[in-house]
Amino acid sequence: MGNSLLDQLKKSGLVDEKKANKAQKAKHKQAKKQRQDKSIDTDKLRLQQQQAEKVKHDRELNLQRKKEADKKAIQAQIKQLIELNQITDYDGEISYNFTDNNVIKNLYLSETIHKQLSQGRLAIVKLGSDYKLVPTAVAEKISLRDKTPIVQCDAPQQDDEDDCYADYKVPDDLMW
C-alpha cells in the first residue's frame, strides 16, 4: 500500500517519468493559482467595501456642510431684514422694560414709538448684543426663518374702530 497511484501507473507502463513530473507541476501551478485568486478576490472585496464606506462618509460630510451653509444663509437673511427695516430714531425719555432670557432689559423710547410698541405694531429683535425695533410684519418674516432673534413680538391690538363702546368715555374720577 505504500505505492501511490502514480507509482502504480509507472510500473504498468501507462505513464512515463516526464509526463508524471509535468502533471505534478501543472497540479501545483493550478493549486497556487487558486490560492492567488482567492486572495485577489478578498482584496477586491475589501477594496470595494472601503470605497463604499468612503462614498457614504463623503455624502454625510457634504450633507453636514450643506446644512451649515443653509444656516449661515438664513442668519444672513435675518441680519439683512433687521438692518433694512429697523427703526433708528426711537430715543426718548420713556423707559420700556422687557425680558430677554429671564433678564430684565429696558429701552428709552419716544412717546409715539412706545405707543406703537405697546399696541403690537413694533417688535424687539436682538442682533448680536444690540436690541433693534422692527415692524411686526418683519418680525413675523424673521420668525419663519428662526425664532431665536425675536425678543418681544406682541400681536397687534384691535383698533378702537371695532369697539362698540368707543363713544362712551369712562371718566377718570369714577368712584365705585
Q: What is the DSSP string of 98-163?
A: EEETTEEEEEEE-HHHHHHHHHTSEEEEEETTEEEEEEHHHHHHHHHH-STTEEE-PPPPPPGGG-
pLDDT of 4 over the 90 cut:
no
Summarised one tens digit per residue, pLDDT across range 101-123 is 888 988 899 989 988 888 888 99
pTM for the structure as a whole: 0.58
Helix (H) / strand (E) element for 94: namely strand 91-100
Range 124-128 average pLDDT: 89
Summarised one tens digit per residue, pLDDT across range 132-159 is 999 999 999 998 888 888 888 877 665 5
Decide if 151 contacts 125 (C-beta within 8 A): yes
pLDDT of 163 over the 70 cut:
no
* Cβ neighbours of residue 121 closer than 8 Å, sequence gap 6 or more: 135, 136, 156
CB atoms within 10 A of CB 125: 24
- The pLDDT value given to residue 124: 92
- The pLDDT value given to residue 1: 45
Summarised one tens digit per residue, pLDDT across range 26-45 is 888 888 887 777 777 788 88
Least confident of 17-21, 60-64, 171-175: 171-175
Higher per-residue confidence, 101 vs 64? 64
Smallest CA-to-CA distance from 139 within 123, 154, 151, 126 is with 123
Domain ranges of the chain: 86-158
- Distance, in Å, from the CA atom of 20 to the CA atom of 25, rounded to the nearest integer, reads 9
